[in-house]
Amino acid sequence: MSTLLVIVGPTGVGKTEFVLRLAERIGCPIVNADSRQIYKEIPIGTAAPTAAEQARVPHYFVGTRSVMEDYSAGQFERDCMALLDELRQRPNATEPFAILTGGSMMYIDAVCKGLDDIPSVNPEVRAEVQQAYRDGGLTWLQAEVARIDPAYWAIVDQQNPQRLMHCVEVTRAAGKPYSLFRQKDQTGTNAERPFEIEKIGLERPREELYERINRRVDAMMAAGLEEEARRVYPLREHNSLQTVGYRELFDYFDGKISREEAIRLIKQNSRHYAKRQMTWFRADKTIRWINPDSGRL
């Protein structure tokens, strides 16, 4: 049976260059599993592979959607499985036949394990939660998620109101924590897949990783992140832009914080996100961890 190689790791660890070198060596394509790099308008803030990098190896799901489009992990599972079936059956397919890589935990799990059937939320519950959010703001929403679902609170983007509201809505509608619908057996693949899955995790010492994150934010600002954020500022309400790097700059544009404070918060929130990513990935005992500079796989 053919093999899908999955490379995961926190933001800033060095996945892009590591995977590029590996894909060139194997001769296989790269399938992106980053929920924000899929949007074409925000390549700087999402550290998307550049045109030059994409020219080295075929890439999929990079810059293929607009920030104005809603796109979910469920849609990614369907689209990605269709692509993987096609790649696997190509006459010139290598072994492994593709590399799936990214830091979006739910996108990785959607392909490797399949998604749980999350119950639908009736309009009354959704309206109730939205009104509570309007009344209490993000502070109330954060406290509510931490209270009703500590497991999800530990790994969610705690500044993303859409994800937090979804947790509250599902929990209230179902009568049990949202995280229970997202728990997959951490010992292997749950969904039936027509290929084997091998997972490699990239890690660095915490202080080294955090310093890399800080330098990367500075490099993004130098590359034009502020200008990129200004271009999409009129679209700020879209879920695709409820993410680190844009929320902080939007607050700066609104006069709520200074430019220097926005940059400081981008670095801080990026480090916090990396910590949550590692919490999630560490729970998967099928991942084999290496340092990307070690020269081994």
pLDDT digit string, tens, across residues 147-187: 999 999 988 888 888 889 989 998 998 888 988 876 554 44
Sign of the four-CA dihedral 106, 111, 113, 119: positive
Number of other CB atoms surrounding residue 258 within 10 Å: 11
Average pLDDT, the chain: 92
Predicted local distance difference test score (pLDDT) of residue 186: 44
Rounded to two decimals, what is the model's pTM?
Answer: 0.84
Q: Which residues pair with 42 in a beta bridge?
A: none
CA distance 17 to 92: 24
Amino acid at 237: E
Nearest Cα residue to 185 out of 112, 120, 118:
112
Give the chain's radius of gyration (CA, Å): 19
pLDDT in tens, 95-143: 999 999 999 988 999 999 887 777 778 888 888 898 999 899 999 999 9
Whether the pLDDT of residue 191 is over 70: the answer is yes
The whole-number pLDDT of residue 182 equals 66
Cα atoms in the Cβ-side hemisphere of radius 13 Å centred on 61: 27
pLDDT for residue 242 is more than 80: yes
pLDDT of residue 6: 98
Report all structural domains of the chain as residue ranges with CATH numbers, in order of start: 3-116+186-204+284-290 (3.40.50.300), 123-182 (1.10.20.140), 207-275 (1.10.287.890)
Residue 127: per-residue pLDDT: 86
DSSP annotation string for 232-291: HGGGTTSGGG-STTTHHHHHHHTTSS-HHHHHHHHHHHHHHHHHHHHHHHHT-TTEEEE-
